Chains A and B, each alone.
Chain A
Amino acid sequence: MSEINSIVDFLEAGIKAESLRQKAITNNVANLQTAGYRRIDVRFEQLLAKALDSNGSADLDEIEPDVYQPKQTPVKSNGNDVSLETEVGEMVKNTLRHRAYVGLLKKNYQQIETAINVR
């Protein structure tokens, strides 16, 4: 991929990260009662910001969303640290971000379409 990133590349990477994060949240909710399970989260925006800071552009093929265990929430007696409230909040945030990215992508395509249709 070229070093100069287009809007579509960024949005694509963002949507990819959001769907992975949605998977992580689903996994957390599914393991709400699993003893010893620690919740997982996805780190992507921070990595992208870091790459953009150092280079001014980022190779979006190189920057992979990173699945990690934050280990910041209080652990229950069975060694599990998933809170349903947190996961619901994360899901709402994730949905809103996803919608924003898809909306921007749609707008971008609409602009291209307008350009094509000019006679």
Chain B
Amino acid sequence: MEVSSSFGPIDIAVSGMQAQNKQIGAISSNVANAQSTDNGDGSPYRRLEAIFKAAGDEIEGVTVDEIAGDMSEFPRILKPGHPDADDQGYVTMPNVDLPIEMINLTVATRAYQANVAVMKRYQRMVESTLELLR
């Protein structure tokens, strides 16, 4: 006898919430390190982004494939007094753009809320089925 949980939509909504949670974690790291000129190895902080992947060929929700670094170029600003400045007085800054991070934060928050909405709606659907028992 197979035990079916039959609550697939809830598990999928949970996987979406977890994935968006990771994305929000990456965004907060980016915002916090928007001015970090030293990553510990001499180069500035590199912007992070959670890369999502479908969890399987079937209907199985989403997983975070990896937290990937944004390989775009670091901007350089003139700041001769900065300890990390080079010979010409330029400092290599992190490739974090705060407006972009804010937009991404809104997108991730809305996506999280959408997953919560799916879970709530499914809960109500099952509850309406259970109403038939009254």
Contact = CB atoms under 8 A, between A and B. Distances in A.
Interface in B3-21: 3, 5, 7, 10-11, 13-14, 17-18, 21
B24 to A, nearest CB: 12
A49 B130 contact: no
A85 B17 contact: yes
Contacts, number: 43
Interface in A23-74: 45-46, 49-50, 52-53
Interface in A86-113: 86, 88-89, 92-93, 96, 99-100, 103-104, 106-107
B126 A85 contact: no
A103 B133 contact: yes
Interface of A is mostly: helix
Nearest to A87: B14
A106 B133 contact: yes
Given A88-B14, A96-B123, A96-B130, 18 more contacts: A45-B3, A49-B1, A49-B2, A53-B1, A85-B14, A85-B18, A85-B21, A86-B14, A89-B14, A92-B7, A92-B10, A92-B119, A93-B10, A99-B127, A103-B130, A103-B133, A106-B133, A107-B133
Interface of B: 1-3, 5, 7, 10-11, 13-14, 17-18, 21, 119, 123, 126-127, 130, 133-134
